[in-house]
Amino acid sequence: MIDLHNREVIGHAMAEHMRAELVRDALALAVRRGLTSDDVIFHADRGTQYTSGLFRSALAGHGMRLSVGRTGSCFDCETGSCHQAA
């Protein structure tokens, strides 16, 4: 997880899979470290790990909202770094 305000890595997790538990664990680390607030908007692609009920529940449990990009749009990127490559 990257804080787009200052580009700081605030949460991470590693595993041999890309299931919802992986992104939930990264979120949990950011919350434990006190690096989130209750007005967070979590922007992600439409990957199943981000749109799963497990991850949505984890976000809601911390007062956060999920924002996902449009399907098939490579320009729907909040970081700006993907626009530099185009």
Q: What is the mean pLDDT of residues 44-68?
A: 90
CB contact at 8 A, 17 and 47: no
pTM: 0.73
More confident: 77 or 69: 69
Taking the CA atoms of residue 74, residue 66, residue 2 and residue 86 in that order, the dihedral angle to the nearest 10 degrees is 10
